[in-house]
């Protein structure tokens, strides 16, 4: 697998996780997104800030999320993110691709 394809898949997985978390919440700031992913995955997945914020910026530019400044629980200025209708459509596409990918891997593991 070429580096470009692997990078695209990794970005797609991050997009999938972030959009899925945002689809279940009203708005969340970046740290809350990473904490939710970490908690729901039972400590198996941890998203680093260096990956999350560029991805959120890219998703904002693509129109999949919208953001606005607000104040966090500990009284700090934070950017809050919300999934858009375009983001929900993209999430549905990503979930379908992910399900196909998982099934293909299962077939190889079972029959190779």
| Contact (Cβ atoms closer than 8 angstroms) between residue 78 and residue 29 | yes
The DSSP bridge partners found for residue 70 are 78
In sequence order, the 6+-apart residues with CB closer than 8 A to the CB of 85 are: none
| Conformational region of residue 14, where left means phi above 0, alpha means psi within -120 to 50, and beta covers everything else | alpha
Tokens for 8? 């695209």
| Contact (Cβ atoms closer than 8 angstroms) between residue 57 and residue 46 | no
- State pLDDT tens for residues 58-92: 999 999 999 999 998 899 999 999 999 999 999 99
Q: Is the pLDDT of residue 102 over 70?
A: yes
Cα–Cα dist 36/25, whole Å:
10
Q: What is the mean pLDDT of the chain?
A: 90
- Enter the pTM of the model: 0.85
User: At which residue do the structure tokens 């999430």 appear?
Assistant: 91
- State pLDDT tens for residues 27-39: 999 999 999 999 9
Q: Where are the domains of the chain?
A: 3-111
Cα–Cα dist 52/21, whole Å:
13
Tokens for 27? 């708005």
Cα–Cα dist 19/59, whole Å:
9
Give me the CATH code for the 3-111 domain, please: 1.10.10.10
């Amino acid at each position: 697998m070429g580096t470009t394809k692997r990078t695209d898949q990794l970005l797609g997985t991050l997009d999938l996780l972030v959009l899925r978390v945002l689809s279940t919440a009203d708005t969340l700031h970046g740290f809350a997104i990473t904490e939710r992913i970490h908690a729901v995955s039972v400590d198996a997945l941890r998203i680093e800030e260096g990956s999350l914020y560029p991805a959120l910026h890219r998703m904002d530019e693509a129109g999949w999320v919208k953001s606005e400044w607000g104040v966090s629980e500990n009284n700090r200025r934070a950017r809050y993110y919300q999934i858009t209708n375009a983001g929900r459509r993209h999430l549905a596409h990503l979930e379908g691709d992910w399900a196909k990918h998982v099934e293909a891997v299962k077939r190889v593991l079972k029959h190779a």
